[in-house]
């Protein structure tokens, strides 16, 4: 009788051990599945933090920019405290995520009605951003938050007159597109485009201050030369920003 009880107890113990072992294996498998195939939100967060430098290193017809980083620190107050002009740049590249954040901060769409991070008189949205990289010039398409190849080649030195334009990893030329200001008279086109570009420029300064980047707003630019490089008419280059890391 005692022997039977003993066998019964051993069988129970073996069964419990098997159940515990199977449960442990199952939770291990679930964990590794989670690591291999993260949920969508994890993918977004991970890809946002992974640094890639495709934009400055290649030439592509069009580039869909990453989603701009949400809830980026620091606070606006700290960014305002850190905002400053910097005129010397190391050769360190901006990540693709930084380029995305930068262009969106400058003049990206921030609402469903298509309005922008920077205000424009009568919502003309005439300030256009051209990104000069070591490989090409890209046009920033606000509506789709993407880059369109504009011209292949290194034209960074043409974006402004000062020597640092040739060495900063990227420059943004801000151009007033007068075709978008047909309901303004000539004085209005000049005045409001010059005013509107100030907001875009300040957004660039603040994003740079918030993300440890360096920049300077430059009005000392060769406007006819920029128009020629961009092959534009009915437009006015207003300000250029070289952007990189402070040397």
Ligand X SMILES: Cc1cc2nc3c(=O)[nH]c(=O)nc-3n(C[C@H](O)[C@H](O)[C@H](O)COP(=O)(O)O)c2cc1C
State which residue has the least CB distance to ligand X.
Answer: 220
- Residue 220 binding ligand X, by CB under 6 A: yes
Task: Give how many residues touch ligand X by CB under 6 A.
Answer: 9
Q: Which residues contact 225 (CB under 8 A, 6 or more apart)?
A: 158
E strands, the chain, where?
Answer: 62-64, 127-132, 136-141, 146-152, 170-177, 214-215, 235-244
Structure tokens at 95: 């990540």
Eight-state DSSP code of residue 239: E
Structure tokens at 32: 């590794």
Structure tokens at 197: 């570009």
- Residue 85 binding ligand X, by CB under 6 A: yes
Of 114 and 219, which CB lies nearer to ligand X in the complex structure?
219
CB atoms within 10 A of CB 160: 27
Of 99 and 197, which CB lies nearer to ligand X in the complex structure?
197
* Footprint of ligand X on 132-171 (CB under 6 A): 162
| CA 225 – CA 214 distance, rounded (Å) | 25
Of these, 171, 174, 217, 226, which contacts ligand X (CB under 6 A)?
A: 217
Inter-residue contact 220 to 238 (CB < 8 Å): no
Shortest spacing between CB 164 and ligand X, in angstroms: 8
Shortest spacing between CB 213 and ligand X, in angstroms: 14
Of 221 and 230, which CB lies nearer to ligand X in the complex structure?
221
| CA 94 – CA 96 distance, rounded (Å) | 7
Of these, 159, 213, 214, 216, which contacts ligand X (CB under 6 A)?
A: 216
- Residue 218 binding ligand X, by CB under 6 A: yes
- Residue 32 binding ligand X, by CB under 6 A: no
Contacting residues toward ligand X, per CB under 6 A? 84-85, 87, 162, 216-220
């Amino acid at each position: 009788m005692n022997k039977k009880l003993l066998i019964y107890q051993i069988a129970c113990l073996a069964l419990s051990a098997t159940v515990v072992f199977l449960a442990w294996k199952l939770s291990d498998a679930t964990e590794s599945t989670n690591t291999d195939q993260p949920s969508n939100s994890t993918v977004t967060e991970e890809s946002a933090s992974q640094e890639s430098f495709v934009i400055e290193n290649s030439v592509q017809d069009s580039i869909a920019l990453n989603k701009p980083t949400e809830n980026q620190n620091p606070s606006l107050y700290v960014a305002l405290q850190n905002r400053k002009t910097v005129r010397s740049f190391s050769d360190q590249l901006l990540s693709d995520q930084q380029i995305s954040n930068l262009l969106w901060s400058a003049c990206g769409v921030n609402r469903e009605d298509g309005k922008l991070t920077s205000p424009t008189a009568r919502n003309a949205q005439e300030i256009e951003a051209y990104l000069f990289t070591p490989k090409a010039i890209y046009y920033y398409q606000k509506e789709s938050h993407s880059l369109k190849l504009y011209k292949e080649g290194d034209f960074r030195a043409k974006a402004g007159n000062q020597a640092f334009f040739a060495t900063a990893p990227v420059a943004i030329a801000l151009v007033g597109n007068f075709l978008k200001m047909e309901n303004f008279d000539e004085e209005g086109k000049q005045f409001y485009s010059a005013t509107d570009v100030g907001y875009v420029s300040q957004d660039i300064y603040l994003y740079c201050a918030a993300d440890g980047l360096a920049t300077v707003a430059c009005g000392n630019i060769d406007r006819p030369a920029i128009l020629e490089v961009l092959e534009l008419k009915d437009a006015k280059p207003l300000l250029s920003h070289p952007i990189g890391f402070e040397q």
